[in-house]
Amino acid sequence: MNGAEEILRVEGLGKTFPGVVALDGVDFDLRAGEVHVLLGENGAGKSTLIKMLSGAYQPDAGRILLDGSPVHIRTAAEARRLGIATIYQEFNLVPQLTVAENLALGRPPRRFGFVDTRRMHDQARELLDRVGIDVDPRARVAELGIARMQMVEIAKALALDARVLIMDEPTAVLTTGEVERLFTMVRQLRDRGVAIVFITHHLEEIARLGDRVTVLRDGRSVREVPATTPQDELVRLMVGRPIDQQYPRAAGDPGAPLLKVSGLTRAGAFAGVSFEIRAGEVVGLAGLVGAGRTEVARAVFGADPYDSGEVLMDGRPLPRTNVRAAMEAGLGLVPEDRKGQGLVLGADVAENLGLVTLSRSGRGGFVDRAGRRKEAGEVAGRLGVRMSNLGQEVRTLSGGNQQKIVIGKWLLADARVLILDEPTRGIDVGAKVEIYQLINSLTASGHAVLMISSDLPEILGMSDRVLVMARGRLVGELDAAQATQDAVMALAVTEVEETRVH
């Protein structure tokens, strides 16, 4: 990339929010035809920086230069006019509208003054083909899974034909195959001279896709290094200290069966799913997006219905679609769509951490608020939630810190079987290890964890057993010794012939 033309430069950029200095003198530059990775812990300031490049926030200090001239990017429309397209960490799609309507937002094709729906759908189809996803343009966005929403978001940004493309954790919600497709697309854009800013917490992606890396720590740009820098060095720059063991799992002997699922079936989603989870176990549930993992988890927890089959806790059947009964029996679920299902964005950190415990103690007398606050403070501290205090609104936390709150809330709730759906999505390397250690202490005290994850190294590193789903069916089970990346992937792409449930 040497000698390539510089498009964008940021000098001494600063941004303060009430009680938080989010950015404190950041320098950064971006060249045509490069992938420039922004790396930093949760709350380091990555999203804040790109929000100033995309017109969402105004800096309080420093300046932004485009082609060598200072610019004031006051609105999102202005950023787009300057050729800057952004894919945000929080999706910006309108859930009530269809995919095609979202893709055409603001500029739907018209004919005789009316929206030309046929053409709008054709254009949407073409964009979706470019990102290579099979989504019906007429589907409502609210009905798509989170990975597909992300692909639609990417298609939307591509529609702008920008010179600068900013991607805030685009791979967080994608599985292996989709990540490959995304990388191919990003490389094509880069080779056409597009300048790309790429944020990720998956360190292995950096050398594969990136050219340069700017490391942010506590709102400052600490270093710029080549993307070939070894991972442990990147971690050290980002966290300020080395991390020795990324997957600290030490399995014990499994105890009595706690959760038993047999023959769980829902037409169109999953069929004949049976498994058992024992005290002290971490069981991984692997598979591609759309394999039905989340659907099964939600049905087991009672959040969604099923047609036939049975869920037993301690040998006693749980009533269907009854989350309260599931929780009272000691089952917990940390959902993948945490924005929608896991948090009350307008409430503060302490209140969010107390949500599950509060609803559980609803029957029995008074609530020990001071005790709760203390517990909440401890969990927040352990997971390193970056916040001004426990009274900060969850809405204003960084993406990864919001995730930590949802996980923390369930770790406080003391569920005996905890289902974690993508527990470390968007979480930085240091905090991941803390979450794994909390999982270990849960299982050491006789609890059990079912972990759904698209992060294969995480599944392999933390599971005592791995179940693999494909097309709504459980297609295999591997113990820790057999479970390799190849073995899991081979099962995950199994074609299920007999009954296609999709």
Ligand X SMILES: Nc1ncnc2c1ncn2[C@@H]1O[C@H](COP(=O)(O)OP(=O)(O)OP(=O)(O)O)[C@@H](O)[C@H]1O
156 binds, among ligand X, Mg ion, none (CB under 5 to 8 A by kind): none
Nearer to ligand X among residue 201 and residue 416 (C-beta) = 201
Cα–Cα distance between 371 and 169 in angstroms, integer? 36
357 binds, among Mg ion, ligand X, none (CB under 5 to 8 A by kind): none
Shortest approach of Mg ion to residue 169 CB, angstroms? 7
Stretch that binds Mg ion, among 8-16, 30-38, 54-62, 394-402 (CB under 5 A): 394-402
Shortest approach of ligand X to residue 439 CB, angstroms? 20
Stretch that binds Mg ion, among 8-16, 295-303, 397-405, 479-487 (CB under 5 A): 397-405
Nearer to Mg ion among residue 20 and residue 468 (C-beta) = 20
**Whether the Cβ atoms of residue 261 and residue 274 lie closer than 8 Å to each other:** yes
Q: How many CB atoms lie within 10 A of CB 189?
A: 18
- Is 47 a binding residue for Mg ion by CB under 5 A? The answer is yes
190 binds, among ligand X, Mg ion, none (CB under 5 to 8 A by kind): none
Stretch that binds Mg ion, among 41-49, 235-243, 372-380, 465-473 (CB under 5 A): 41-49
Nearer to ligand X among residue 229 and residue 398 (C-beta) = 398
Nearer to Mg ion among residue 123 and residue 150 (C-beta) = 150
Report which of 272, 280, 286, 234 is spatially closest to residue 255, judged by C-alpha positions.
280
**Whether the Cβ atoms of residue 460 and residue 481 lie closer than 8 Å to each other:** no
Shortest approach of ligand X to residue 458 CB, angstroms? 17
Shortest approach of ligand X to residue 173 CB, angstroms? 13
Cβ burial, residue 127 (10 Å; 0-12/13-18/19+)? buried
Nearer to ligand X among residue 102 and residue 392 (C-beta) = 392
> Looking only at residues 80 through 109 of this chain, which bind Mg ion when binding is defined by CB under 5 A?
89
- Is 463 a binding residue for Mg ion by CB under 5 A? The answer is no
User: What is the CB-side half-sphere exposure of residue 229 using CA atoms within 13 A?
Assistant: 21
221 binds, among Mg ion, ligand X, none (CB under 5 to 8 A by kind): none
Structure tokens at 327: 């929780």
Question: Where along the sequence are the contacts to ligand X (CB under 6 A)?
Answer: 17, 20, 22, 40, 42-48, 89, 386, 396-401
Backbone angles phi, psi at 458, to 5 degrees: -65, -45
* Tokens 């070894």 sit on residue: 230
3-state secondary structure of 98: strand
Nearer to Mg ion among residue 294 and residue 398 (C-beta) = 398
Shortest approach of Mg ion to residue 388 CB, angstroms? 17
Nearer to ligand X among residue 20 and residue 318 (C-beta) = 20
Report which of 210, 209, 207 is spatially closest to residue 233, judged by C-alpha positions.
207
293 binds, among ligand X, Mg ion, none (CB under 5 to 8 A by kind): none
Cα–Cα distance between 377 and 371 in angstroms, integer? 10
The binder of Mg ion chosen from 170, 280, 309, 399 (CB under 5 A): 399
40 binds, among Mg ion, ligand X, none (CB under 5 to 8 A by kind): ligand X
* Tokens 């050219």 sit on residue: 211
CA distances from 445 to 411, 441, 449, 500 (A): 13, 6, 12, 40
Shortest approach of ligand X to residue 335 CB, angstroms? 18
State the first-to-last Cα distance of the chain, in angstroms, to the nearest integer. 45
Shortest approach of Mg ion to residue 220 CB, angstroms? 16
Which own/partner pairs from 23-29 qualify as long-range (CB within 8 Å, at least 24 positions apart)? Answer: 23/48, 23/49, 23/52, 23/59, 23/219, 23/220, 24/218, 24/219, 24/220, 25/61, 25/62, 25/220, 25/221, 26/62, 26/216, 26/219, 26/220, 26/221, 27/221, 28/214, 28/221
Cα–Cα distance between 400 and 427 in angstroms, integer? 5
Nearer to Mg ion among residue 20 and residue 483 (C-beta) = 20
Cα–Cα distance between 357 and 475 in angstroms, integer? 36
Shortest approach of ligand X to residue 400 CB, angstroms? 3
Pairing of strands 220-226, 308-313: unpaired
Nearer to ligand X among residue 43 and residue 476 (C-beta) = 43
22 binds, among Mg ion, ligand X, none (CB under 5 to 8 A by kind): ligand X
Stretch that binds Mg ion, among 171-179, 203-211, 375-383, 393-401 (CB under 5 A): 393-401
Shortest approach of Mg ion to residue 231 CB, angstroms? 20
Residue nearest to Mg ion (CB): 47
Cα–Cα distance between 260 and 125 in angstroms, integer? 43
Cα–Cα distance between 273 and 389 in angstroms, integer? 44
Shortest approach of ligand X to residue 18 CB, angstroms? 6
Shortest approach of ligand X to residue 348 CB, angstroms? 12
Residue nearest to ligand X (CB): 400
Q: How many residues form the binding site for Mg ion (CB under 5 A)?
A: 4
Helices (H), 302-348: 323-328, 338-341
Nearer to ligand X among residue 265 and residue 401 (C-beta) = 401
Binding-site ranges for Mg ion (CB under 5 A): 47, 89, 398-399
